Structure 1
Amino acid sequence: MPILVFFVAHYYLSLFTQTFYLHRYAAHKMFTMNKFWEKFFYLFTYACQGSSFLSPRAYAILHRMHHAYSDTEMDPHSPHFSSNPFAMMWKTKVIYTDLLKHNVEAPERFEGDYPVWEAVESFGSQWYSRLGWGTAYVLFYINFATAWWMYLLLPVHFLMGPLHGAIVNWGGHKYGYQNFDNHDKSKNTLALDFLAFGELFQNNHHKLPLRVNFGVKWWEFDPTYVFIWSMDKMGVIKIKRKQQVPVRVAA
Structure 2
Amino acid sequence: MAILVFFIAHYYLSLFTQTFFLHRYAAHKMFTMNKFWERFFFLFTYICQGSSFLSPRAYALLHRMHHAYSDTEMDPHSPHFSSNAFSMMWKTKVIYSEVVLDKHDAAKRFEGDTPEWSWLDKFGGTVYSRLGWGTVYVLFYINFATAWWQYLLLPVHFLMGPIHGAIVNWGGHKYGYQNFDNHDKSRNTLPFDFLAFGELFQNNHHKLPMRVNFGVKKWELDPTYSVIWLLDKARIVKVKRKWQESVPMAA
TM-score, with normalisation over the residues of structure 2?
A: 0.98
CA contact (8 A) 2:32 2:237 kept: yes
Quote the offset at 1:157 in angstroms.
Answer: 0.1
For 1:30 and 1:179, how far apart are their aligned partners in 2?
A: 21
CA contact (8 A) 1:49 1:161 kept: yes
Give the aligned partner of residue 11 of structure 1.
11
What do the CA deviations read for 1:104-137 (whole angstroms, capped 9, x no partner)?
2345541101101110011100001000000000
Q: How many residues align?
A: 249
For 1:104 and 1:197, how far apart are their aligned partners in 2?
A: 30
Quote the offset at 1:249 in angstroms.
Answer: 1.8
Are 1:245 and 2:251 counterparts? no
Quote the offset at 1:102 in angstroms.
Answer: 1.4
CA contact (8 A) 1:211 1:244 kept: no
CA contact (8 A) 2:3 2:145 kept: yes
For 1:75 and 1:90, how far apart are their aligned partners in 2?
A: 14
Paired residue secondary structure (1:48): helix
Quick one: which amino acid aligns to residue 70 of structure 1?
A: S
For 1:244 and 1:81, how far apart are their aligned partners in 2?
A: 34
Unaligned runs of 5+ in 1: none
Quick one: which amino acid aligns to residue 44 of structure 1?
A: F
Unaligned runs of 5+ in 2: none
Are 1:131 and 2:131 counterparts? yes
Are 1:90 and 2:90 counterparts? yes
Paired residue secondary structure (2:170): helix
RMSD between superposed Cα atoms in Å: 0.9
For 1:21 and 1:145, how far apart are their aligned partners in 2?
A: 31
Quick one: which amino acid aligns to residue 249 of structure 1?
A: A
For 2:162 and 2:214, how far apart are their aligned partners in 1?
A: 21
Quick one: which amino acid aligns to residue 149 of structure 2?
A: W
For 2:209 and 2:82, how far apart are their aligned partners in 1?
A: 24
Quote the offset at 1:23 in angstroms.
Answer: 0.1
CA contact (8 A) 1:61 1:106 kept: no
Give the aligned partner of residue 80 of structure 2.
80
CA contact (8 A) 1:52 1:159 kept: yes
Which runs of at least 4 in structure 1 moved beyond 6 Å after TM superposition?
none
Give the aligned partner of residue 35 of structure 2.
35
What do the CA deviations read for 1:143-195 (whole angstroms, capped 9, x no partner)?
00001110000000000000000000000000000000000000000000000
Q: Give the direction of change, closer, same or farther, for the CA distance of 1:74–1:141 in structure 2 (3 Å limit).
A: same
